Structure 1
Amino acid sequence: MAIFSLWVINKAGGLVYQRNFADGLAQLTSNEYLVLAGTLHGIHAITSRLSPAGSSSGAQVIEGETFKMTILLTATGTKFVLLTSLAEVTADSVLQRVYEAYADAVMKNPFHTPEMPVRSEGFDTRITSLIGTGQS
């Protein structure tokens, strides 16, 4: 079980935080990460409208052959995305704790501009203590 990467996507679909935790991931450029975040934002918007049984908050888990994306959508529209191995079962609770760290270290920072890239040493430190290297 492993945690590969964490993304924070603002309500407009912009990538405001991205961090890898495992070796072996494809080496992507900053632009490629921005495109992927925007694409995921669009997919999430589409899936929120496809529900045959009323309203939906959109995709919560997307699985590939070798990985899983777990998505936490907040009340403000910010998305927290965790890329993990298929066997990872703690993704939901990790995302909830990441959200709490984000609220404490980023949103309570008077010098942070909402919807802008996260540049907070306190947030980075909390993520490191929460996820570490991502290896279970």
Structure 2
Amino acid sequence: MPSSTRTVFSLIIINKAGGLIYQREYQAGLRSLSTNDYLVLAGTFHGPPPALTSPGGSAPVGFSYPNPGVPASGLEHLETEKFRLTCFQTLTGTKFLLFTDPMTGNVDTIMNKIYELYADYVMKNPFYQLEMPVRCEAFDRHLGAWLRGRT
């Protein structure tokens, strides 16, 4: 399989409040975005929390994000001739947006590995504050090395 079919262009991580907490580009190929563009993109994927209904199924009684009793909904994949965007939402509401070449196979495997590295190097880091920007050199280093090793 040619390496161009395995290209990961970029990764964005959005916290449960809709804030951009991580963004890295790994390959050229997509138009460069400004910081403001990334913030708009993060806000677009955040969206409002799902409304809960009362036991009789009538009017909404409140909001819950995420709602463990309801399957995740929303955009999971967006594909164009230039890129494929895959969105993975964790049970805690954190969203991972992965931009890849449209021909990239095993995107779920890639996303699972990214989440594993995030859990190992960010969430287990005693200095990381939840919902704050990810500034973890070990995560950057291991993720970059793993992605480079795939091509």
Q: Give the deviation of 1:133 after TM superposition.
A: 8.2
Structural RMSD (CA): 1.9
Note if 1:8 corresponds to 2:23: no
Larger radius of gyration: 2
2:72 aligned partner: 57
Residue identity in the other structure for 2:89 = L
- After TM superposition, the runs of 4+ consecutive aligned structure 1 residues lying more than 3 A away are none
One of 92, 112, 133 as aligned partner of 1:96: 112
Q: Which residue of 2 aligns with 1:120?
A: 136
Give the superposition deviation at 1:65.
3.1
TM-score computed with the length of structure 1 as normaliser? 0.84
Shift of the 18–107 alpha-carbon distance from structure 1 to 2, 3 Å rule, reads same
SS at match of 1:88: coil
Q: Tell whether the 8 Å contact from 2:26 to 2:144 is kept in structure 1 after alignment.
A: no
Out of 33, 36, 50, the position equivalent to 1:31 is 36
- The AA in structure 2 aligned to 1:41 is H
Q: Which residue of 1 aligns with 2:102?
A: 86
- Over the matched positions of the two proteins, sequence identity in percent amounts to 46
Q: 1:113 to 1:103 in 2, by over 3 A?
A: same
